[in-house]
Structure 1
Amino acid sequence: MYKMIAMDMDGTLLTDNKQITERTKKVINLASKKGVKIAVCTGRIFASARIYAEAIGAKTPVIASNGAYIRDKDTNNVIYEKYLRTNEVLKLIELTKGYGFYPHFYTYNTIMSEKMIFASKNYNEWNKTLPDEDKINIVICSSLKDKVLEYNGKIIKMVVASDDGIGINELRNKIQNESNFSVVSSMFPNSFEVMPCGTSKGNGVKVLADKYNIPPEEIICVGDSENDISMIQYAGLGIAMGNATEEVKMAADYITDTNENEGVAKAIERFILNN
């Protein structure tokens, strides 16, 4: 019997218009009532992911920032946290600016950059739809180097995006050659994310599973993108969405329906509720 399910958010739990369907909420809550531990596992920062985790209605720990930050949304207890060192952040700023890009650095609830562009611009638009207590803190500053020093030791990740796809790929390859970083594709086109070495959704799921004393073979992980592969491979049952990339589908044990057709709900019904 499966005792835990970890779900990606964008392209998995959420529809294309960033909603969780009523059927999906109902099915997740039925699984929770059966004693199955529910977790959302996302590249989003905690402050962003928490809003959707609340919408589910069940007790749902959040594995945020691709596994770098894990927090219980109901108790606000931080279960796990791993940060970029300040010297690493300064190095990333130097590398990124060498290509003329505007990097974004994140804490669990704040985005900072020198220009309102890509990620910060998207979050700024999203903030307009949110009550004040749920808004993401966006800091646009004249000197990113000075600003990150104010958050010394609390930077979780960097995201960089550009219309220059060739330059982005060159920068990603250069950063990946540094052994002290984990790098994955971001949800935006021509973009990627940089976290502390060893960070992954797979490790995040393991940390939470160890807390609950649940072995991998009793875990289901569901996702659609590159950053989901590590948890899909870790789980006893790794499930790819019907809209997943081919790489994710190759790594999975089972392929469910798409995020637009309630693939998460159908997978939970098949492997948890009907067993």
Structure 2
Amino acid sequence: MEIKLFATDLDGTLLTNDDNISEGNIKAIKDAVDAGVMVTFATGRMYSSAVKYAAQAGLDVPLITYNGALIKSTAGKIYFESCIEPAVVSAFVRYCAQKHWYVQVNSDDKLYFPEYLQRSISYEKSVGIEGKTIGWEALERKNRNVTKLLFVLENFANPDAPEKAINEDEIISEMMEKFAEKVTLVKSKKGLIEVINPGVSKASALDVLAKQMGITIDEVMAIGDADNDLPMLRAVGKSVAMGNAARHIQDVCDYVVNDNENDGVAEAIYRYVLKKAYIHKRCF
């Protein structure tokens, strides 16, 4: 089956560890577009963070952002949006405040903190977006047009944080029980847990986008590295895991390529989309 739509995750996939797109990946994307393939992002990032990378890669397409909660073109057209109910946002933030669990809110594509910690600084740096610190009570009221809430744990800013201080699985288990059928939680990167509407995922967003573009899901290839990529990797016609992905992610994919520091996305495009010989040319 010919691939007509290629969707790439950003962090740990298209982006290097210093949050850049390599020249090799940019060239591969442009070659794919020139060959008539639609290339887009499927990321947990805010739209305002992802759209900057689209400009860098020369893409003028709908982007899947907020882990599938918002599909919006680089020109600003909204194709799909799924916001968490305001009452659920307020209750969720209030519960986190009681538990002393740090959570951020994305409302109207802006970033809000309850307090400004080292993890807040690290997150701002990683996404290239400046947030606003408003306190817990104001955060509880920042409940309109919320596409995502985000736990940023201590180990996001401090990889050496003791495991007992992290409790990722405890947070997910407790909040999924407390807010059953109101939100869903998924890990997207070490120290990050995304909170979105039930039924929202990169897979559901790809299905929406493909149908609007007149493309079948069998004509879609997706590439990723993290747990929040699993739904789309399982759903699409062909799936690719990054070399830096965990084994359980690699095991569900059709192909495995090099890591995000060594142009894994370019390898996937040339070998499995354009069906061309590929030689990695970067030298270290």
Deviation at 1:17, TM superposition (A): 1.5
- Corresponding residue pairs, total: 264
The TM-score normalised by the length of structure 1 is 0.89
* Partner of residue 225, structure 1: 226
1:107-122 to structure 2, matched below 5 A, reads 107-117=107-117, 120-122=120-122
How far off its partner does 1:136 sit? Answer: 2.9
Query: Does structure 1 residue 183 correspond to structure 2 residue 189?
Result: no
In the TM superposition, residue 187 of structure 1 has moved relative to its aligned partner by: 2.3
- The residue that corresponds to 2:146 in the other structure is 155
1:88-237 mapped onto 2 (5 Å cutoff): 88-117=88-117, 120-125=120-125, 136-142=129-135, 144-149=136-141, 151-163=142-154, 165=165, 167-177=167-177, 178-189=180-191, 191-237=192-238
Question: How far apart, in 2, do the equivalents of 1:248 and 1:52 lie?
Answer: 25
Within 2, Cα distance between the matches of 1:215 and 1:125?
37
**TM-score calculated relative to the size of structure 2:** 0.87
- Kept in 2: contact 1:6–1:39 (CA 8 A): yes
* C-alpha RMSD of the superposition: 1.9
Per-residue deviation, 1:152 = 4.2
Q: What is the match of residue 78 of structure 2? A: 78
Identity of matched residues, %: 28
| Residue identity opposite 1:159 in structure 2 | L
Q: Higher mean Cα deviation, 224-233 or 177-186?
A: 177-186
Paired amino acid for 1:87: A
Structure 1, unaligned runs of 5 or more: 128-134
**Structure 2: how far apart are the matches of 1:118 and 1:83?**
28
* DSSP 3-state at the match of 1:98: helix
Distance 1:124 1:224, change over 3 A: closer
Question: What residue in structure 2 maps to residue 31 of structure 1?
Answer: 32
Seen in structure 2, the aligned counterparts of structure 1 residues 121 and 78 have a Cα distance that, compared at 3 Å, is same
Using the alignment, how far apart are the partners of 2:71 and 2:165 within structure 1? 31
* Bigger shift: residues 117-126 or 257-266: 117-126
Residue 62 of structure 1 aligns to a residue in which SS? strand
What's the CA shift string for 1:226-249, capped at 9, x where partnerless? 000011111100110111112211
Q: Give the direction of change, closer, same or farther, for the CA distance of 1:162–1:210 in structure 2 (3 Å limit).
A: same
- Change in CA separation of 1:42 and 1:118 when aligned onto 2, cut-off 3 Å: farther
Deviation at 1:141, TM superposition (A): 1.0
Distance 1:138 1:83 in 2: 19
Q: Deviations over 1:99-154 (max 9, x none)?
A: 21221011253111221125531244468xxxxxxx63522113x343453x4431
Unaligned runs of 5+ in 2: 155-163, 277-284
Instruction: State whether structure 2 residue 7 is matched by structure 1 residue 13.
Output: no
- Residue 130 of structure 1 corresponds to none
Deviation per CA, 1:25-49: give whole Å up to 9, x if none. 1111111111111110101110111
Contact 2:114 2:139 in 1 (8 A): no
Return the letter of the residue paired with 1:229: L
Question: How far apart are the structure 1 equivalents of 2:96 and 2:28?
Answer: 43
Contact 1:6 1:220 in 2 (8 A): yes
- Corresponding residue for 1:132? none
Per-residue CA deviations over 1:207-266 (Å, capped at 9, x if unaligned) read 111110111111100000000001111110011011111221122111111111111101
